[in-house]
């Protein structure tokens, strides 16, 4: 059974991000590990206790930034990513923030649109992967 919750288990989150971003997507480690994790809110998705996905939330002013969203390749297509985003939105709402922002890989824009996000601004390169900013009101 899939569960998503706020976590202090940063090592589990970093291990998932290493597999997905550094190993699978070839993001350089110095870009993936950016020093912002100690002040972030981390969400962990588990399947019967086994970590399968994560997301990181950063707060700046009245905006929450959702980032480092990943799900293990063999677990994709089960709704885990959507569950992470819904949980992230609820966490940010609970903090009283006005909006959520994220940088979507361009192939994932339709996924985030289905969760209420709207693409804005130009496509940009992030670690060699095309991205576009997306926002939604909370």
Q: What is the CATH number of the domain that holds 15?
A: 3.40.630.30
**Long-range contacts (CB closer than 8 Å, 24 or more residues apart) made by 69-74:** 69/102, 70/16, 70/17, 70/20, 70/21, 71/20, 71/45, 72/16, 72/19, 72/20, 73/20, 73/24
Reported confidence tier of residue 70, pLDDT bands at 50, 70, 90 = very high
Q: Is residue 75 part of a domain?
A: yes
Q: Is residue 22 part of a domain?
A: yes
* pLDDT tens digits for range 22-37: 999 999 999 999 999 9
Structure pTM? 0.95
Q: Is residue 130 part of a domain?
A: no
Once rounded to an integer, what is the mean pLDDT over residues 91-96? 97
Q: Residue 46 has what pLDDT?
A: 98
Q: Is residue 120 part of a domain?
A: no
Q: Is residue 21 part of a domain?
A: yes
Rounded Cα gap, residues 55 and 88, in angstroms:
8
Q: Is residue 112 part of a domain?
A: no
The residue range of the domain holding 59 is 2-99
Reported confidence tier of residue 114, pLDDT bands at 50, 70, 90 = very high
Q: Is residue 115 part of a domain?
A: no
Q: Is residue 128 part of a domain?
A: no
Rounded Cα gap, residues 17 and 33, in angstroms:
9
Domain count across the chain: 1
């Amino acid at each position: 059974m899939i569960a998503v919750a706020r976590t202090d288990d940063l090592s589990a989150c970093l291990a998932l991000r290493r597999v997905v971003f550094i190993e699978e997507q070839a993001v350089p480690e110095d870009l993936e590990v950016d020093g912002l994790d100690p002040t972030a809110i981390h969400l962990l998705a588990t399947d019967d206790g086994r970590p399968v996905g994560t997301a990181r939330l950063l707060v700046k002013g009245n905006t929450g930034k959702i980032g480092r969203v990943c799900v293990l390749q063999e677990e994709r297509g089960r709704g885990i990513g959507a569950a992470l985003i819904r949980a992230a939105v609820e966490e940010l709402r609970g903090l009283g923030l006005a909006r959520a922002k994220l940088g979507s890989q361009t192939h994932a824009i339709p996924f985030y649109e289905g969760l209420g996000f709207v693409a804005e601004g130009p496509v940009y390169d992030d670690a060699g992967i095309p991205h576009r900013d997306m926002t939604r009101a909370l």
